[in-house]
Chain A
Amino acid sequence: MRGSLLLHWTPGILRTQAFRIVLIYVFVFAVSATTLVGFTYWYTERSLNAQTDQIIEAEITGLAEQYQRLGLRGLADVVVSRSIHGGQGLYLLADNLGRPLAGNLDEWPRSVTLAGVFTEFQYDRRVQSQLVPRRARGKAFLLVGGFELLVARDVDERDLTRKLFTTTLPWSVGLMLIFGLIGGALMSRKVLARLDSINRTSTEIVAGDFSRRVPLSDAHDEFDALAENLNRMFERIERLMKGMREVADSVAHDLRTPLNRLRNRLEEAQRRLDPQSPHAADIEAAIAETDGLIATFNALLLIAEADSGMARGALTQLDLSAVVADVAELYAPLAEEKNIALTVMPAGVLTIEGNRSLISQALANLIDNAIKYTPAEGRVTIFAAETPSGVDLTVADSGPGIPLADRARVVERFVRLEESRNSPGTGLGLSLVAAVARLHQARLTLDDNNPGLKATISFPRKPLRPQKGANRE
């Protein structure tokens, strides 16, 4: 059970809504987290640069003042003293050919021009008699007298942080995705299990076991709320079905008894009456009327019985081809009398799960209709055949057919089309066929046979059946 459940959800999980939601969520989260971190980084770097630039500007202002006040010598002294002071500051005073005069940079960096804009450049710093390349950011300008001054600050630490950041970011995003997916899978599995139990219960109820209920968990979450609502609904359905059955039963009994007495009395009157009496025909007509009433009543009860799903217990394995052969044989002479060619297309053994009596009756109704409405010299063809989804049973005739607009209506109870209003029948024939189809979870379709009607009952390959006690978790 465990193993099969695992197999069941592993490939299936990718198709579930829950997992898709988690996937989208993880993606959106990863994108927004990356954007947030990226923005923070970008903003921090910008402010750091601005800060650096501000310090440099201040220094330049200071140095320019020194130069104005003390001349080149004074400026050189300040540059030397600041250079020795160390820290992050870098200075270089050079002559008009770029030769260093004072400062802690050995040579004028190539990329730095005198345009008066901030530039970043590489320089070598001596660390314990070794030259280490480092980055700096600074600004250079021309002094009155042709001298050049560069003021910069070391920004290597900032770059180190940036490098650290760019290497770890993909990893964190990757980890975020992996954890998100694992979490999502676990979550969807949990959601799936809950949905699965709801689904299973509904299927069993559809299959006719009205006593099933969705199991509740101890979580009291929204799934439990859903389950409780569904259970209330199922309870109501069960109550309604039971009520309908009780009504059908009592109507059956309470109407049968007076109908029985009515028929009895009419028959008694008929027996006592002289056959030559002028009332004999009236009584005979009254008996025929009563019999029509009884036939309608019986058909209605049978439809109710089929629809209540209670006759489902009587489903057995049967060969549809044999059922077709038997019913066709019953109607063959009738067709022959009307010069209608009644043909049964041969088919092998077609095993379905069904109620022989009800399927026979449904088929009899279809064939009876076909023969009734097909003009002499016409054709009625019956075939049963395997289809990808199950077994199809078709009765096709060459009669007038049913207009497209009326096809859905004729399966409703008591609906009779204008043309057939005067022929005998209860108007329940096709309703019964439809009810029998529903009982077998089959579908009744009415198509054009060009010309004529083509009625098909499509039986499913494996009908849903209530499984008592199975698959309960």
Chain B
Amino acid sequence: MRILVVEDDLEAQRYLVNGLKEAGHVVDDAADGETGLTLALSRPYDVAIVDRTLPKMDGLNIVAEMREHGNTMPILFLSALSEVDDRVKGLKAGGDDYLTKPYAFVELLARIDALMRRRSPSSVKTKLLVGDLELDLLTRIATRAGQTIDLQPREFRLLEYLMRHAGQVVTRTMLLESVWEYHFDPQTNVIDVHISRLRAKIDKSFDAALLHTVRGAGYMIRAR
């Protein structure tokens, strides 16, 4: 995957680029807004990671400009600005996701993975399938190996999110943000408890586990 990194803190940029390369991505970097915009408009990247405060051109303006040119490249803001308003501003300007510094690298990887996957035309599906687990989005019924699994509405949304990102690492923060729409960090790991309940429903009486814990990162649903 090709990734553009626009970041003016060279130390942070070096780390980011190295990390992404180690994860197997092809990375271009820019240290100021104008260079970043030129690169974004001239080459097809799968995702762009953009800082908010940049010399020459602000991150918000880069994205606004890109969207004006009809460029739909997925964009993740990576910013030290963390206020309630800042996230809203970033998403309004055309960003697809917003991550606050300091961040955990696994969190960043999981998020860009999710962003890149979103581009593939698969969102019109009415049924999600992982192994013998099936989620019907129209009837809102979950079945595994023909057996109906009784799910609460929130559990359904949780499972739906996991299955839409089947085979990808999904972090606790991502789940909290997309399933509960909360952008704060609950001091206790409430998400783990929700996952273990969901796991009890979909995995317990079956041989093969589908919902896996990825140590130090989050969760992943996959069939093997």
Contact = CB atoms under 8 A, between A and B. Distances in A.
A261 B194 CA distance: 33
Main secondary structure of the interface of A (DSSP, over half): helix
A402 B10 CA distance: 49
A260 interface: yes
10 contacts: A256-B101, A260-B101, A263-B104, A268-B18, A291-B104, A295-B185, A333-B190, A360-B184, A364-B184, A368-B188
Nearest to A262: B102
A256 B80 contact: yes
Interface stretch (B69-77, B82-90, B114-122): B82-90
B80 A252 contact: yes
Contact of B82 (A298, A326, A334, A368): A298
Contact of A264 (B15, B82, B180): B15
Residue from A263, A425, A429 whose CB has the most chain B CB atoms within 10 Å: A263
Contacts of A365: 187
A419 B100 CA distance: 33
Contacts of B103: 260, 263
A261 B83 contact: no
A259 interface: yes
B12 A264 contact: yes
B188 A298 contact: no
A267 B190 CA distance: 25
B81 interface: yes
Contact of B84 (A291, A311, A426): A311
Given A357-B84, A360-B184, A260 B197 contact: no
A261 B12 contact: yes
Interface residues of A, number: 46
Contact of A331 (B16, B82, B190, B197): B190
A253 interface: yes
A314 interface: yes
Nearest to A305: B83
B186 A260 contact: no
B207 interface: no
B11 interface: yes
A313 interface: yes
Interface string B175-207: 000001011111110100110010000000000
B142 to A, nearest CB: 18
What are the 8 A-B residue pairs with the smallest beta carbon separation, nearest first? A256-B80, A260-B102, A333-B193, A264-B15, A260-B101, A361-B184, A263-B102, A259-B102
A354 to B, nearest CB: 12
A473 interface: no
A337 B190 CA distance: 11
B83 A334 contact: no
A294 B104 CA distance: 11
Interface residues of B, number: 35
Given A268-B15, A371-B188, A429-B187, 17 more contacts: A252-B80, A252-B82, A256-B101, A259-B102, A260-B102, A261-B12, A294-B102, A295-B185, A295-B187, A298-B82, A301-B82, A301-B83, A333-B194, A360-B184, A361-B184, A364-B182, A368-B188
Residue from A252, A311, A330 whose CB has the most chain B CB atoms within 10 Å: A330
Nearest to B176: A330
Given A262-B102, A337-B193, A425 B187 contact: yes
A265 B193 contact: no
A311 B194 CA distance: 31
A330 B80 contact: no
A424 interface: yes
B22 A271 contact: yes
A246 interface: no
Interface string B96-127: 00001111110000000000000000000000
Contacts of B82: 252, 256, 298, 301
Interface of A: 252-253, 256-257, 259-265, 267-268, 271, 290-291, 294-295, 298, 301, 305, 310-311, 313-314, 326, 329-331, 333-334, 337, 355, 357-358, 360-361, 364-365, 368, 371-372, 424-426, 429
B20 to A, nearest CB: 12
Given A260-B101, A261-B15, A314 B85 contact: yes
Contacts of B81: 252-253
A151 to B, nearest CB: 105
B154 interface: yes
B12 A358 contact: no
Contact of B188 (A291, A357, A372, A426): A372
B80 A253 contact: yes
Contacts of B184: 357, 360-361, 364
A357 B81 CA distance: 17
B67 to A, nearest CB: 23
A372 B105 CA distance: 30
B180 to A, nearest CB: 6
Contacts of B193: 333-334, 337
Nearest to A432: B184
B187 A268 contact: no
A252 B101 CA distance: 10
Nearest to B195: A333
Contacts of A425: 187
A425 B185 CA distance: 12
Nearest to A331: B190
Contact of B105 (A264, A290, A294, A326): A264
Contacts of B188: 334, 368, 371-372
Contact of A260 (B12, B22, B88, B187): B12
A290 B185 CA distance: 15
B149 to A, nearest CB: 17
Contacts of B186: 330, 364, 368
Contacts of A326: 180
B80 A268 contact: no
Nearest to B183: A357
Residue from A267, A310, A314, A326 whose CB has the most chain B CB atoms within 10 Å: A267
Residue from A260, A337, A365, A368 whose CB has the most chain B CB atoms within 10 Å: A260
Contacts of A271: 19, 22
Contact of A360 (B12, B182, B197): B182
